Amino acid sequence: MAMWVFDDLVEGLFLVLLFLFLTITFSVGFEHAFKKKACRFGPPSYPFIGCLVSFYQNRRRLLEWYTDLLSESPSQTIVVHRLGARRTVVTANAANVEYVLKTNFSNFPKGKPFTEILGDLLGFGIFNVDGDLWSSQRKLASHEFSTKSLREFVMRILEEEVEGRLLPLLESAMEKNEVLDLQDVLRRFAFETVCKVSLGVDPCCLDLSRPVPPLVRAFDRASEICAMRGMAPVYAVWKMKRAFNVGSERKLKESVQLVHSSVREIIQNKKRKLEEDRAEGDGGDLLTSLLSAGHGEEVVRDMVISFIMAGRDTTSAAMTWLFWLLSQHPPIESAIVAHVDSLYRNPLDFETLKEMNFVKACLCESMRLYPPVVWDSKHAAADDTLPDGTALREGDRVTYFPYGMGRMEHLWGKDRFEFRPDRWLEEPEADGGGPLKAVSPYKFPVFQAGPRVCLGKEMAFIQMKYVVASILRRFEIRPAGSNRPVFVPLLTAHMAGGFKVVVRKRSGGNEP
């Protein structure tokens, strides 16, 4: 606690110094000193400090602010200037998104300003590198993610986790009439699953009576602090704190050290086991495959940390919002339950899950409105021009914005704010069954798109369908309060304060 106060003090002090410097340099208040220079489309901007004033005024509603600005722009693209940051082009234009993510992919790496934010935690892992470092890992990982043995392993883990831990946990909350934070439960579930798949170890975090394991806490803290780095209006602040090893940056360093040393230990144990009984080498998890293929320890460490980081909070965020949306739309909830019941088989297998198109439609619709990753940035390696005519200079940041895109009228129509899963179906009348519409990934880039599309997309849908189907056919999930939840975008988005629910038996519901 004391550390956080100290942290705010350092930050406050820095901002005060900055503003003093600005005022002295220009002798008059900046807001009056310059004639407002309106950017072509974008927030009001002043020389030198750029949009810092409007940025500050809107800091608690950035998503809505950007979405409004984007819908007012004729090509859904705006330019943002901030002190100490690159000129940033934010776009919700599908043609621009396709250009950046696919057509001229090689001109749009993540770039240093972004990889710096996560670099301390992710090292040279796939999630956080560009160029050759990225493409060689991508090739390797794509192969690993597409094997039949991994799919079978994932199905085994899901059955173990859902039947053995998640459903009993809900059952017990129901019997005790307890209020449960479903978001927390789903986050623990997702972490446990991705840990088992990536590392082959069980972090045991779904046992709510036990304290959160240190590895999980360290991961949480590290990603939270990195997210704060990314949200800071002035980057120089965290860089200065890191240089002096104070406040949040010191906490980050400690957490990163804990994550790295825990993963290193897991790797060394696994290596020892592999050497002891070569015959039984195939544990099915990604770590075992990577080590068996002879890759170096450091590379493997960074890769699995990237997988865990990428695969942990995303699926839980998507499912949390879906459960809330369903609780607000009883007819859709009944439809999805009927759909699941008509297909259900025990245990759920891969083929059955593939047929659950209506569950997938509901998940996509939920992620359209509440995308787990609200925005993502690239940096132009060389001067370029986007399809809508926006000129880019080397080093400019280009941000594609799935949250805003899900709320653009020209992409989704007048009913864009409504939860309507049937917009994803080829034949909306056909009671939830039937084929899904083909929707361009550049119009719906929640998994990114193009060569760097999310590697875990298929795994994520399998996992989410398994969980949603299993929970819904047995239980009714009802919000414990009547407050409208608040969507907070950190590194991955979540529901502020958690999602407090009561669990009831579904009437006419099904035995486990």
Q: Which is nearer to ligand NAG, 143 or 393 (CB)?
A: 393
- Between CA 243 and CA 233 the distance in angstroms is 18
- Judged by CB under 6 A, the residue of 455, 468, 493, 495 near ligand HEM is 455
- Between CA 239 and CA 243 the distance in angstroms is 6
Q: Which is nearer to ligand NAG, 104 or 115 (CB)?
A: 104
- Judged by CB under 6 A, the residue of 49, 92, 101, 446 near ligand HEM is 446
372 binding ligand HEM? (CB under 6 A): yes
DSSP of 422-486:
GGGBSSTTSTT-SPBP---TTTSTBTB-GGG--TTHHHHHHHHHHHHHHHHHHEEEEESS-PPP-
- Between CA 404 and CA 298 the distance in angstroms is 38
155 binding ligand HEM? (CB under 6 A): no
Instruction: Look at the chain and count its residues.
Output: 512
135 binding ligand NAG? (CB under 6 A): no
Q: Which is nearer to ligand NAG, 98 or 285 (CB)?
A: 98
- Span near ligand NAG by CB under 6 A; candidates 1-9, 10-18, 182-190, 380-388: 380-388
467 binding ligand HEM? (CB under 6 A): no
Closest approach of ligand NAG to the CB of residue 101, in Å: 13
Token pair recorded at residue 234? 């002035």
Closest approach of ligand HEM to the CB of residue 363, in Å: 8
127 binding ligand HEM? (CB under 6 A): yes
- Between CA 424 and CA 359 the distance in angstroms is 11
Beta strand 397-400 with 88-91 is parallel
384 binding ligand NAG? (CB under 6 A): yes
DSSP of 220-231:
HHHHHHHHHHHH
Q: 380 and 396 in contact (C-beta within 8 Å)?
A: yes
- The residue written with tokens 């710096």 in the block is 116
- Span near ligand NAG by CB under 6 A; candidates 172-180, 309-317, 381-389, 440-448: 381-389
Integer-rounded Cα Rg, in Å, for the chain is: 24
Token pair recorded at residue 324? 């809330």
Q: 474 and 162 in contact (C-beta within 8 Å)?
A: no
Partner whose binding site includes residue 235, from ligand HEM, ligand NAG, none (CB under 5 to 8 Å by kind):
none
- Span near ligand HEM by CB under 6 A; candidates 70-78, 247-255, 393-401, 451-459: 451-459
104 binding ligand NAG? (CB under 6 A): yes
111 binding ligand HEM? (CB under 6 A): no
Q: Alpha helices of 293-438 — where are they, by DSSP H?
A: 297-328, 330-343, 350-355, 357-369, 402-405, 409-412
Q: 130 and 110 in contact (C-beta within 8 Å)?
A: yes
Partner whose binding site includes residue 315, from ligand HEM, ligand NAG, none (CB under 5 to 8 Å by kind):
ligand HEM
- Span near ligand HEM by CB under 6 A; candidates 13-21, 82-90, 306-314, 327-335: 306-314
Closest approach of ligand HEM to the CB of residue 372, in Å: 4
Closest approach of ligand NAG to the CB of residue 107, in Å: 4
315 binding ligand HEM? (CB under 6 A): yes
Partner whose binding site includes residue 104, from ligand HEM, ligand NAG, none (CB under 5 to 8 Å by kind):
ligand NAG
Q: Which is nearer to ligand NAG, 152 or 383 (CB)?
A: 383
* Residue among 388, 324, 452, 424 at smallest CA distance from 89: 388
- Span near ligand NAG by CB under 6 A; candidates 31-39, 301-309, 378-386, 397-405: 378-386
- Between CA 360 and CA 221 the distance in angstroms is 32
- Judged by CB under 6 A, the residue of 306, 357, 390, 399 near ligand HEM is 306
Residues 6 or more apart in contact with residue 135 via CB below 8 angstroms: none
H or E, element range at 23: helix 2-26
